[in-house]
Structure 1
Amino acid sequence: MAARPMGFSQNMQQQPRYPPQAAQIRPYGQPGYSGARPAYGPMGGQMANQMGAPMGSQMSSQMANQMGGPPRMGMPAQNMMPQGGMNYGQVSSSIPSTSKSGSQSMRGPGVQGLQAALEQRKRATTQSTMVAAQTQIAKNKKKKKMADKVLPQKVRDLVPESQAYMDLLAFERKLDQTIMRKRLDIQEALKRPMKQKRKLRIFISNTFFPGKPEAEEGDETAVASWELRVEGRLLEDPSGKMTTPAPQQKRKFSSFFKSLVIELDKDLYGPDNHLVEWHRTATTQETDGFQVKRPGDQNVKCTVLLMLDYQPLQFKLDPRLARLLGVHTQTRPVIINALWQYIKTHKLQDEHEREFINCDRYLEQIFDTSRLKFAEIPQRLHPLLMPPDPIVINHVITVDGPDAKKTACYDIDVEIDDTLKQQMNSFLLSTQSQNEIATLDNKIHDTVETINQLKINREFLLSFAKDPQEFINNWLCSQSKDLKTMTDVVGNPEEERRSDFYFEPWAQEAVCRYFYGKVNQRRAELEQMLGIK
């Protein structure tokens, strides 16, 4: 007959011998400065940018056409030639023009060609700048490392007080390593069962209800009956180590047991109706107690059998092995470990073949062999492990006085999850401190980046203060290289090697003529826009 938790409607399948009353058990988770600086190059570089073509090529072609002769030998107009006039900031370009017949002309481009080349140069520069900006953003999004927090050696030499920051950084590194090691230890500890023993107090009470002769036929109160209740609660920890809130400690009484059987007197209730059982299933709902109600007006002897729900499973050892190891009921890993300790203590491991165990006379009687492999121990232990014994409580249901309730208390040892396990799990899942640490790390990274930028600015200005001329020359050369990188302009080393040709006197005159014409052209455009005649 199945017992059911109190408060539910399951009825007992077996009927008692007394027909009017049914038997039932009712339980109750740098950026560094990148990109190129704009090219503020020397005059030669600016002229090349404005003209869009080599100066010498265009002017020599124009002068040759005006004079009625071909260009000078060694000066083809369509070739790329570096800008002359200075030793730095050189930018070269090649912009061929197309004649009406579709072939390239030997003459340099006109004003419209120069403007188109200038616009093309501007678009290329803008695109290169956008690419550099996107690259910079991608670098900023990369995860910052510990090395990004380290101050440069030059900064530490300039500011001796920064050594305190470096000491704190080293201490932080050690602290992070210690915390990470402890987190790994906690993770390993959580994989093992962490249990603590507590006292479970069981209350077994019975109440007698005498029959009423004046009651109508069929009324339950017409027949004398008794009610048996089995309840329990977990006692407070006397050591005071429970630190979790009380609502989280409460656990239903039935959750401690795998099954409960109440065996009544067979002489009174017959061989088919003297057992009341409750067994845990996958859909079992936990309850705080169980109750059984039966008709009867005599004292009844009953036996309550409680089978604890061990998590993880525990086994009872064979009596011989239990006496040998000093273990009565334990989990399989604990039993194997106890056996291994016995083997090591008595030096039963073979000296030459370490995987074999030489059994002494006690193990030989238990395992029925004189020699076995250590890997065979779990298999040989299997027939020696039995289900643990149930808890047996003998109780007498008395029917002495009307409505008299009698209660007996029994304390048993149970194992529950250690409260420290919940705290350790909360520590691993906590992200509040991680978010705060990440915010502080970002502030440190920003501060170090600012210091590095200030260091660059300081070195920049110190270099200028020491030797302004050399500094400007080097800076313009650097800007010219950056401009070539941004605009994907590839120089012509062969023609750059012959750049002395453009230092001849005619080049200076050609430059002056060109700028004079450009100034007059811009002046005419400005006067036309302003309406000045």
Structure 2
Amino acid sequence: MVITSIIYNIYIYLYISISISISIYIIYIYIYIYIYIYIYIYIYIYIYIYIYIYIYKCHSRTKGTQTQDTQAGNQQMASTNQQTRNNARNQEPKDGSTRRGGGTGRTQGHRGKTEQRPDKERADDKSLNTQGVMVILKPDRHLLPSVQIRELVPESQAYMDLLAFERKLDQTIMRKRVDIQEALKRPMKQKRKLRLYISNTFNPARPDADDSDGSIASWELRVEGKLLDDPGKQKKKFSSFFKSLVIELDKDLYGPDNHLVEWHRTPTTQETDGFQVKRPGDVSVRCTLLLMLDYQPPQFKLDPRLARLLGIHTQTRSCIIQALWQYIKTNKLQDSHDKEYINCDKYFQQIFDCPRLKFSEIPQRLTNLLLPPDPIVINHVISVDPNDQKKTACYDIDVEVEDPLKSQMSSFLLSTANQQEIASLDNKIHETIESINQLKIQRDFMLSFSRDPKGYIQDWLKSQSRDLKLMTDVVGNPEEERRAAFYHEPWSQEAVSRYFYCKIQQRRQELEQALAVRNT
């Protein structure tokens, strides 16, 4: 019985504990739900108030512009009449007499704007250089979009057609300018023949000479050259085609310290039309000329294995990478799953020494496979025989020069010879079109007045009052606001509620700030 009683007590204790835990858990859930509902209601009220304020503002704006929206057609006519009055004001006599009609100050102000507009257009009609491309800003030269102008001036349609054609022509020229600009970013080279002239003279010794130079036999070697069929006005110097020149003489005759004659290009090098080497001697000398061309952009000699694979001996780095990419595409070496990787075939494995590599690694791996280009080697014999003095050895070398078209393209992009004339003609056209448009407005004004003088004057006065309201920044409709029925509409209750709400919020902020100051 004791054991049963103990077990029963334990059961009762566990039951009570679990019941209390569940009750506490349920209470917590109710508290959380209450908090969530409170937050939701607060957010809902805040959104409602925000939407309420927004609707009120939109309603106020709508009420302020209600009359203008209902009379959109009259506004367009009033704008036309306004421009007509401006031109009529421009034609006032200079003796100080005035014309009858309201809105004098406004007409004069707009007249000043009309007179200053061509100057502003001239000031804006400037050339802008956007990324090396000349952009010409032209004034507005369009006629008013009215069929009546075409009826009054039949030639106006031809003018509009010419204007559309000019726009297409300007777009075409602009595209060509951009194409030329992109073409100038790439090297433009032409292959030409450089003829190399190698000659030498021998000066025998003269025993009766007073100076030491004449008493010793010597020879002089000349290395000169020029471009064949060079159409350029400015001839390039011979040395500008080479990076270095080395003349190797017989080492047995001139010793290990004096058998080399070297010239290397430096940033301060002065270009020359040829090279001269003078040495003492009375016997024929064999020499070797090593000429290193100055490639722009630089060219490199490929590793023999890579050269056989690509069929390229010497080329620029970009051309070599392009040839590699062409080989990869032709042989489908790009990984089908990961396009970034290249699966090397047996030739690539021999060259790059890896079974797989990233395409971005090729330029770095290519550095070890690029060598300086081979120099041009010329073997020549410096003869001291008098019969061979007039002989000159000639050699033709392939060189790359700048394409003459490149300078013409650059001058075309930078040319501003005719821009001033074009700008002046555009301004004249603009002034003529302005006068035509103003005359059209005046004609419409007179025709409308002749058809219905009373109605037109009334509409004109309405447009003047609206313009005056816009000039004085008046919001709303004074004619409606002066009547008591205006304030009995449904929106007034919303406005009052919003007004008090804003005032209460403002007062609450002031109190909170005051309390915060006191507490601190």
What secondary structure is seen at the aligned counterpart in 2 of 1:432?
coil
Residues 271 and 34 of structure 1: CA distance in aligned 2, closer, same or farther (over 3 Å): farther
Instruction: For residues 170-197 of structure 1, give each alpha carbon's deviation from its aligned partner in whole angstroms, at most 9, with x where no partner exists.
Output: 2222221111111111101101110001
Provide the aligned length of Structure 1 versus Structure 2.
Answer: 377
1:357 deviates by: 1.2
Partner of 1:141: 120
1:200 aligns with 2:194: yes
Secondary structure in 2 aligned to 1:291? strand
Q: Could you say what secondary structure the match of 2:199 adopts?
A: strand
Task: Please tell me whether the aligned partners of residues 149 and 444 of structure 1 are also in contact (alpha carbons under 8 angstroms).
Answer: no
Gaps of 5+ in 2: 1-78, 89-100, 125-136, 485-520
**What are the Cα deviations for residues 73-97 of structure 1, in whole angstroms up to 9, with x where unaligned?**
xxxxxxxxxxxxxxxx999xxxxxx
Deviation at 1:134, TM superposition (A): 5.5
Aligned match for 1:449, one of 414, 434, 450: 434
SS in 2 for 1:421: helix
Residues 343/32 of structure 1: CA separation in 2 closer, same or farther (3 Å cut): farther
Q: 1:255 aligns with which of 234, 237, 240?
A: 240
Which whole-Å CA distance do the structure 2 matches of 1:33 and 1:284 have between them?
Answer: 75
Residue aligned with 1:221, SS? coil
Secondary structure of residue in 2 paired with 1:201: strand
> Which residue in 2 is equivalent to 1:505?
none
1:261-312 deviations in whole A, cap 9, x for unaligned? Answer: 1000001011111001111111110010110111000010000111111111
Amino acid at match of 1:292: V
Task: Determine if contact 1:194/1:421 at 8 Å carries over to the other structure.
Answer: yes
Amino acid at match of 2:256: P
Residue 234 of structure 1: how far off its partner (Å): 0.9
* Structure 1 residues 430-449: Cα deviation after superposition (integer angstroms, max 9, x where no partner): 11233333233223322222
Q: 1:464-483: per-residue Cα shift (whole Å, max 9, x none)? A: 22112222333344445556
- The offset of 1:389, in angstroms, is 0.7
Cα distance change, pair 268–33 in 1 and its aligned pair in 2 (3 A): farther
Query: Equivalent residue for 1:531?
Result: none
- Where relative contact order (Cα < 8 A, 6+ residues apart) is larger, the structure is 1
- Structure-1 separation of matches of 2:83 and 2:442: 16
State whether residues 260 and 305 of structure 1, in contact with CA within 8 Å, keep that contact through their aligned partners in structure 2.
yes
- TM-score by length of structure 1 reads 0.64
| Structure 2 partner of 1:303 | 288
Pick from 282, 290, 300: which aligns with 1:315? 300
Question: Structure 2 vs 1, CA of residues 477 and 323 (structure 1 numbering), >3 Å: closer, same or farther?
Answer: same
Amino acid at match of 2:216: V
| Cα displacement (A) at 1:361 | 1.2
| Gap change, CA 1:34 and 1:128, over 3 Å in 2 | closer
TM-score when scaled to structure 2? Answer: 0.66
Per the alignment, residue 59 of structure 2 pairs with none
Kindly tell me: are residues 403 and 222 of structure 1, through their superposed partners in 2, closer, same or farther at Cα, counting changes over 3 Å? farther
CA contact (8 A) 1:252 1:288 kept: yes
Partner deviation per Cα, 1:132-188 (whole Å, 9 max, x = no partner): 736863685154767652541322355454332222222222221111111111101
Identity %: 70
Distance 1:34 1:195 in 2: 63
Matches within 5 A, 1:47-58: none
Q: Which amino acid aligns with 2:182?
A: E
Out of 165, 168, 171, the position equivalent to 1:171 is 165
Counterpart code for 1:224: A
Structure 1 gaps of 5+ residues are 1-30, 41-88, 92-124, 499-533
Asked whether the 8 Å contact 2:383–2:389 carries over to 1, the reply is no
State the distance in 2 between where 1:164 and 1:177 align: 20
User: Conserved in 1, the CA contact under 8 Å of 2:188 and 2:402?
Assistant: yes
**How far apart are the structure 2 equivalents of 1:172 and 1:128?**
35
Match of 1:215 in 2: 209
In the superposition, relative to structure 1, how do residues 276 and 295 fare at CA in structure 2: closer, same or farther (>3 Å)? same
Residue matched to 2:418:
433
* Equivalent residues of 2:81, 2:441 under 8 A apart: no
Q: Which residue of 2 aligns with 1:388?
A: 373
Aligned equivalents of 2:360, 2:335: Cα separation in 1? 14
Separation in structure 1 between the aligned mates of residue 355 and residue 274 of structure 2, nearest angstrom: 51
Q: Provide the residue aligned with 2:273 in structure 1.
A: 288
Which AA in structure 2 matches 1:198? R
Q: Would you tell me which structure has more helix in proportion to its own residues?
A: 2
In 2, the alpha carbon distance for the partners of 1:358 and 1:134 equals: 72
- Residue 372 of structure 1 is matched in structure 2 by 357
Q: What's the counterpart of residue 162 of structure 1? A: 156
Q: Residue 138 of structure 2 contacts residue 423 of structure 2 at CA under 8 Å; is this kept in 1? A: no
Structure 1 residues 433-442 or 333-342, which shifts more? 433-442
Secondary structure of the structure 2 residue equivalent to 1:213: coil
